[in-house]
Amino acid sequence: MAIYREYRLRPPLNRFVECVWCLSQTARVEAEEAVQPVPPDGTVEVIFHLGEPFTQVGDGLSERQPATMVVGVWTQPIGLVAPPGFDTVGIRIKPGAASALWADSMDRFTDAVVDATAVWGRAATDVRDRLAETASHSRRLEIIAAFLETRLRQHEPALAGLVDRIAAAHGCLAIDALAAESGTSPRQLERAFRAHVGVSPKMFSRIVRFQNVLRCSARIQPGAAGDAAGRSWADVACECGYADQSHLIRDFRQFAGETPTSLCESTATVADYFRRR
Protein backbone atom coordinates (compact mmCIF):
# COMPACT_ATOMS: atom_id res chain seq x y z
CA MET A 1 0.00 0.00 0.00
CA ALA A 2 1.31 3.43 -0.94
CA ILE A 3 1.83 6.11 1.73
CA TYR A 4 1.29 9.77 0.83
CA ARG A 5 2.08 12.77 3.04
CA GLU A 6 2.22 16.53 2.55
CA TYR A 7 4.38 19.03 4.46
CA ARG A 8 4.54 22.83 4.57
CA LEU A 9 7.79 24.78 4.39
CA ARG A 10 8.74 27.67 6.68
CA PRO A 11 8.63 31.36 5.63
CA PRO A 12 9.51 32.78 3.20
CA LEU A 13 9.28 29.57 1.15
CA ASN A 14 5.65 29.01 2.11
CA ARG A 15 4.75 32.01 -0.08
CA PHE A 16 6.09 30.13 -3.11
CA VAL A 17 5.64 26.44 -2.30
CA GLU A 18 2.22 24.94 -1.71
CA CYS A 19 3.67 21.81 -0.14
CA VAL A 20 6.36 19.17 -0.29
CA TRP A 21 4.82 15.73 -0.78
CA CYS A 22 6.25 12.27 -0.24
CA LEU A 23 4.82 9.16 -1.91
CA SER A 24 6.33 5.76 -1.21
CA GLN A 25 5.61 2.09 -1.57
CA THR A 26 8.51 0.18 -0.06
CA ALA A 27 6.87 -3.25 -0.10
CA ARG A 28 7.15 -4.33 -3.71
CA VAL A 29 3.87 -5.43 -5.22
CA GLU A 30 2.96 -6.80 -8.61
CA ALA A 31 3.38 -3.98 -11.14
CA GLU A 32 0.14 -2.32 -12.19
CA GLU A 33 0.13 -2.19 -15.97
CA ALA A 34 -2.95 0.00 -16.27
CA VAL A 35 -2.31 3.63 -17.21
CA GLN A 36 -3.41 5.95 -14.42
CA PRO A 37 -4.49 9.40 -15.63
CA VAL A 38 -3.56 12.35 -13.39
CA PRO A 39 -5.61 15.48 -14.16
CA PRO A 40 -3.92 18.91 -14.26
CA ASP A 41 -4.09 21.12 -11.17
CA GLY A 42 -2.48 24.36 -12.43
CA THR A 43 0.77 23.97 -10.48
CA VAL A 44 4.38 23.41 -11.49
CA GLU A 45 6.19 20.60 -9.65
CA VAL A 46 9.79 19.57 -9.13
CA ILE A 47 9.91 15.80 -8.60
CA PHE A 48 12.70 13.55 -7.35
CA HIS A 49 12.39 9.80 -7.98
CA LEU A 50 14.58 8.36 -5.24
CA GLY A 51 13.67 4.81 -6.19
CA GLU A 52 12.28 3.49 -9.44
CA PRO A 53 10.76 6.20 -11.64
CA PHE A 54 7.23 6.06 -12.99
CA THR A 55 6.57 5.31 -16.64
CA GLN A 56 4.80 8.06 -18.56
CA VAL A 57 2.43 7.08 -21.36
CA GLY A 58 0.93 9.35 -24.01
CA ASP A 59 0.81 10.16 -27.72
CA GLY A 60 1.67 6.56 -28.54
CA LEU A 61 4.88 6.70 -26.47
CA SER A 62 5.88 4.98 -23.24
CA GLU A 63 9.05 6.06 -21.43
CA ARG A 64 10.45 6.21 -17.93
CA GLN A 65 10.43 9.62 -16.35
CA PRO A 66 13.74 11.34 -15.48
CA ALA A 67 15.07 10.72 -11.98
CA THR A 68 14.83 14.48 -11.31
CA MET A 69 12.34 16.54 -13.29
CA VAL A 70 10.25 19.67 -13.63
CA VAL A 71 6.61 19.05 -14.51
CA GLY A 72 4.89 22.08 -15.97
CA VAL A 73 1.20 22.95 -16.01
CA TRP A 74 -0.64 20.40 -18.10
CA THR A 75 -3.83 20.98 -20.10
CA GLN A 76 -4.59 17.25 -20.34
CA PRO A 77 -4.12 14.26 -18.05
CA ILE A 78 -0.67 12.76 -17.56
CA GLY A 79 -0.77 8.99 -18.04
CA LEU A 80 1.38 7.14 -15.49
CA VAL A 81 2.23 3.52 -14.81
CA ALA A 82 3.53 2.89 -11.28
CA PRO A 83 6.54 0.61 -10.72
CA PRO A 84 6.35 -2.25 -8.17
CA GLY A 85 8.04 -0.09 -5.52
CA PHE A 86 8.89 3.59 -5.38
CA ASP A 87 10.05 6.47 -3.18
CA THR A 88 9.21 9.86 -4.67
CA VAL A 89 9.44 13.40 -3.30
CA GLY A 90 7.79 16.38 -4.96
CA ILE A 91 7.80 20.16 -4.54
CA ARG A 92 4.43 21.58 -5.53
CA ILE A 93 4.98 25.23 -6.45
CA LYS A 94 2.11 27.69 -6.21
CA PRO A 95 0.72 28.97 -9.52
CA GLY A 96 2.74 31.97 -10.70
CA ALA A 97 5.53 31.38 -8.18
CA ALA A 98 7.97 29.20 -10.14
CA SER A 99 9.54 32.24 -11.82
CA ALA A 100 10.86 33.19 -8.37
CA LEU A 101 13.07 30.10 -8.47
CA TRP A 102 14.36 30.09 -12.06
CA ALA A 103 14.42 32.48 -14.97
CA ASP A 104 12.73 30.44 -17.72
CA SER A 105 9.30 31.44 -18.96
CA MET A 106 6.81 28.91 -17.61
CA ASP A 107 5.24 28.23 -21.00
CA ARG A 108 8.47 26.37 -21.81
CA PHE A 109 7.25 23.66 -19.43
CA THR A 110 3.56 23.61 -20.43
CA ASP A 111 2.36 20.05 -21.17
CA ALA A 112 5.94 18.85 -20.67
CA VAL A 113 8.22 16.96 -18.33
CA VAL A 114 11.74 18.41 -18.40
CA ASP A 115 14.86 16.91 -16.85
CA ALA A 116 15.68 19.21 -13.92
CA THR A 117 19.36 19.25 -14.84
CA ALA A 118 18.35 21.43 -17.80
CA VAL A 119 17.15 24.00 -15.25
CA TRP A 120 19.59 23.69 -12.34
CA GLY A 121 22.42 21.59 -13.76
CA ARG A 122 24.32 19.23 -11.48
CA ALA A 123 22.75 20.87 -8.41
CA ALA A 124 19.44 19.10 -9.12
CA THR A 125 21.15 15.69 -9.15
CA ASP A 126 23.06 16.53 -5.97
CA VAL A 127 19.79 17.31 -4.16
CA ARG A 128 18.27 14.03 -5.31
CA ASP A 129 21.33 12.10 -4.09
CA ARG A 130 21.17 13.76 -0.66
CA LEU A 131 17.44 13.05 -0.39
CA ALA A 132 18.04 9.41 -1.23
CA GLU A 133 20.62 9.10 1.54
CA THR A 134 18.02 9.64 4.29
CA ALA A 135 14.59 8.21 4.98
CA SER A 136 13.81 10.97 7.47
CA HIS A 137 11.09 13.27 6.17
CA SER A 138 12.22 16.09 8.44
CA ARG A 139 15.76 15.84 7.08
CA ARG A 140 14.44 15.75 3.53
CA LEU A 141 12.48 18.94 4.18
CA GLU A 142 15.67 20.60 5.48
CA ILE A 143 17.54 19.61 2.31
CA ILE A 144 14.79 20.95 0.07
CA ALA A 145 14.40 24.19 2.03
CA ALA A 146 18.15 24.88 1.92
CA PHE A 147 18.21 24.22 -1.82
CA LEU A 148 15.25 26.52 -2.56
CA GLU A 149 16.38 29.35 -0.29
CA THR A 150 19.61 29.75 -2.23
CA ARG A 151 17.63 30.08 -5.47
CA LEU A 152 14.98 32.62 -4.56
CA ARG A 153 15.18 35.39 -7.15
CA GLN A 154 12.41 37.65 -5.82
CA HIS A 155 10.49 38.25 -2.63
CA GLU A 156 6.91 37.89 -3.85
CA PRO A 157 5.34 35.45 -6.33
CA ALA A 158 4.38 37.06 -9.63
CA LEU A 159 0.63 37.51 -10.22
CA ALA A 160 -0.09 36.24 -6.69
CA GLY A 161 -3.09 38.53 -6.19
CA LEU A 162 -4.64 37.67 -9.56
CA VAL A 163 -4.08 33.95 -9.12
CA ASP A 164 -5.66 34.14 -5.66
CA ARG A 165 -8.67 35.96 -7.11
CA ILE A 166 -9.24 33.19 -9.65
CA ALA A 167 -8.79 30.50 -6.98
CA ALA A 168 -11.20 32.24 -4.60
CA ALA A 169 -13.81 32.39 -7.37
CA HIS A 170 -13.23 28.69 -8.16
CA GLY A 171 -12.33 29.65 -11.71
CA CYS A 172 -15.57 31.55 -12.32
CA LEU A 173 -14.21 35.04 -12.94
CA ALA A 174 -14.46 37.13 -16.11
CA ILE A 175 -10.95 37.57 -17.53
CA ASP A 176 -11.72 40.98 -19.06
CA ALA A 177 -12.88 42.23 -15.66
CA LEU A 178 -9.76 40.78 -14.02
CA ALA A 179 -7.57 42.58 -16.55
CA ALA A 180 -9.40 45.86 -15.99
CA GLU A 181 -9.02 45.56 -12.22
CA SER A 182 -5.28 44.97 -12.59
CA GLY A 183 -4.90 47.98 -14.88
CA THR A 184 -3.79 45.99 -17.91
CA SER A 185 -5.25 44.75 -21.17
CA PRO A 186 -6.50 41.16 -21.65
CA ARG A 187 -3.64 40.57 -24.10
CA GLN A 188 -1.02 41.82 -21.64
CA LEU A 189 -2.60 39.70 -18.89
CA GLU A 190 -2.42 36.62 -21.11
CA ARG A 191 1.28 37.20 -21.84
CA ALA A 192 1.98 37.60 -18.12
CA PHE A 193 0.10 34.39 -17.25
CA ARG A 194 1.90 32.38 -19.94
CA ALA A 195 5.26 33.66 -18.66
CA HIS A 196 4.63 33.13 -14.94
CA VAL A 197 1.91 30.43 -14.75
CA GLY A 198 2.42 28.58 -18.02
CA VAL A 199 -1.05 28.91 -19.51
CA SER A 200 -3.49 31.68 -20.32
CA PRO A 201 -5.74 33.05 -17.54
CA LYS A 202 -8.72 31.44 -19.30
CA MET A 203 -7.10 27.98 -19.32
CA PHE A 204 -5.92 28.40 -15.74
CA SER A 205 -9.48 29.34 -14.73
CA ARG A 206 -10.84 26.23 -16.47
CA ILE A 207 -8.37 24.03 -14.56
CA VAL A 208 -9.27 25.68 -11.24
CA ARG A 209 -12.99 25.23 -11.97
CA PHE A 210 -12.41 21.59 -12.90
CA GLN A 211 -10.49 20.97 -9.67
CA ASN A 212 -13.48 22.36 -7.77
CA VAL A 213 -15.67 19.81 -9.58
CA LEU A 214 -13.34 17.04 -8.39
CA ARG A 215 -13.85 18.19 -4.81
CA CYS A 216 -17.61 18.29 -5.28
CA SER A 217 -17.67 14.95 -7.10
CA ALA A 218 -16.20 13.23 -4.05
CA ARG A 219 -19.67 13.52 -2.52
CA ILE A 220 -21.26 11.44 -5.28
CA GLN A 221 -20.86 7.74 -4.63
CA PRO A 222 -20.16 5.25 -7.44
CA GLY A 223 -23.36 3.96 -9.01
CA ALA A 224 -25.50 6.57 -7.25
CA ALA A 225 -27.78 9.00 -9.02
CA GLY A 226 -26.64 11.77 -6.72
CA ASP A 227 -25.02 12.54 -3.40
CA ALA A 228 -26.52 12.37 0.08
CA ALA A 229 -28.32 15.66 -0.54
CA GLY A 230 -29.75 14.38 -3.83
CA ARG A 231 -27.47 16.49 -6.07
CA SER A 232 -26.86 15.07 -9.55
CA TRP A 233 -24.03 15.73 -12.00
CA ALA A 234 -26.21 18.41 -13.57
CA ASP A 235 -26.48 20.05 -10.14
CA VAL A 236 -22.70 19.83 -9.64
CA ALA A 237 -22.18 21.44 -13.06
CA CYS A 238 -24.46 24.32 -12.13
CA GLU A 239 -22.93 24.67 -8.65
CA CYS A 240 -19.41 24.86 -10.13
CA GLY A 241 -20.23 27.50 -12.72
CA TYR A 242 -20.72 25.43 -15.88
CA ALA A 243 -23.36 26.46 -18.39
CA ASP A 244 -24.71 22.90 -18.41
CA GLN A 245 -23.70 19.29 -17.88
CA SER A 246 -22.34 18.91 -21.43
CA HIS A 247 -19.72 21.61 -20.73
CA LEU A 248 -18.70 19.76 -17.56
CA ILE A 249 -18.35 16.51 -19.54
CA ARG A 250 -16.21 18.35 -22.12
CA ASP A 251 -13.76 19.43 -19.41
CA PHE A 252 -13.72 15.94 -17.91
CA ARG A 253 -12.77 14.46 -21.26
CA GLN A 254 -9.98 17.03 -21.74
CA PHE A 255 -8.59 17.12 -18.20
CA ALA A 256 -9.36 13.63 -16.87
CA GLY A 257 -9.61 11.62 -20.08
CA GLU A 258 -12.90 10.09 -18.99
CA THR A 259 -16.47 10.92 -18.02
CA PRO A 260 -17.51 12.07 -14.52
CA THR A 261 -19.27 8.77 -13.86
CA SER A 262 -16.35 6.59 -14.96
CA LEU A 263 -13.95 8.59 -12.80
CA CYS A 264 -16.09 8.06 -9.70
CA GLU A 265 -16.56 4.36 -10.47
CA SER A 266 -12.86 3.69 -11.06
CA THR A 267 -10.97 1.67 -8.46
CA ALA A 268 -8.48 3.45 -6.20
CA THR A 269 -5.01 3.89 -7.69
CA VAL A 270 -1.82 5.83 -6.94
CA ALA A 271 -3.21 8.59 -9.21
CA ASP A 272 -5.95 9.26 -6.64
CA TYR A 273 -3.38 10.96 -4.41
CA PHE A 274 -2.99 13.64 -7.09
CA ARG A 275 -6.61 14.12 -8.03
CA ARG A 276 -6.79 16.75 -5.27
CA ARG A 277 -10.00 15.41 -3.71
| Number of domains making up the chain | 2
| Residue at which a domain ends, from 126, 149, 172 | 149
141 and 53, same structural domain?
yes
Is the predicted pLDDT of residue 2 greater than 90, yes or no? no
For residue 217, give the CATH number of its domain. 1.10.10.60
9 and 110 housed in the same domain: yes
Domain end call among 116, 149, 182:
149
Whole domain around residue 106: which residue ranges?
3-149
Do 16 and 113 fall within a single domain? yes
**The pLDDT value given to residue 273:** 79
Give, as one character, the DSSP assignment of residue 85. S
Mean pLDDT of 178-182: 91
pLDDT of residue 33 exceeding 80, the answer is no
Residue 177: helix, strand or coil by DSSP? helix
**pLDDT of 185:** 95
The reply to whether 85 falls in a domain is yes
Provide CB contacts within 8 A for 152, sequence distance 6+: 12, 13, 16, 100, 101
Q: How far apart are CA 220 and CA 101, in angstroms?
A: 39
The pLDDT of residue 277: 46
pLDDT for the residue 123: 96
- Cα separations (Å) of 17 from 4, 93, 243? 18, 4, 33
| Residue 61: predicted pLDDT | 86
The pLDDT of residue 225 is above 70: no
Verify that 218 and 122 share a domain, yes or no.
no
The reply to whether 154 falls in a domain is: no
pTM score: 0.91
> Which CATH number does the domain housing residue 47 bear?
2.60.120.10
**Domain shared by 143 and 7, yes or no:** yes
Domain closes at, from 149, 170, 204: 149
* 262 inside domain: yes
In a domain, residue 249? The reply is yes
Whether residue 184 is found in the same domain as residue 228: yes
With a cut of 90, say whether residue 266 has pLDDT above it: no
User: Is the domain of 265 the same as that of 143?
Assistant: no
Supply the mean pLDDT for the chain: 89
Average pLDDT over every residue of 27-53: 86
Least confident interval from 24-28, 194-198, 250-254: 24-28
Cβ atoms of 28 and 84 within 8 Å: the answer is yes
Same domain for 233 and 267?
Answer: yes
Q: Distance (Å, rounded) from C-alpha 199 to C-alpha 144?
A: 26
Residue 218 banded pLDDT, cuts 50, 70, 90: low
Non-local CB neighbours of 263 within 8 Å, separated by 6+ positions? 217, 252, 256
Does residue 229 sit in the same domain as residue 258? yes
**Distance (Å, rounded) from C-alpha 8 to C-alpha 94?**
12
What's the pLDDT at 57? Answer: 94
* Residues 127, 179 share a domain: no
d(CA 64, CA 81): 9
Residue 155 lies in a domain: no
**pLDDT exceeds 90 at position 216:** no
Is 141 in the same domain as 18?
yes
3-class SS of residue 169: coil
**Residue 179 is inside which H or E element, if any?**
helix 175-181
What phi and psi, each to the nearest 5 degrees, are found at residue 122?
-60, -25
DSSP category for residue 162: H
For the segment 95-142, what is each residue's pLDDT rounded down to a tens digit? 999 989 998 999 999 999 999 999 999 999 999 999 999 999 999 999
pLDDT per position as a tens digit, 49-89: 999 999 999 888 899 999 999 999 999 999 999 999 999 99
pLDDT value, residue 32: 58
Say yes or no: 115 and 145 in one domain.
Answer: yes
Residue 220 has pLDDT above 60, yes or no: no
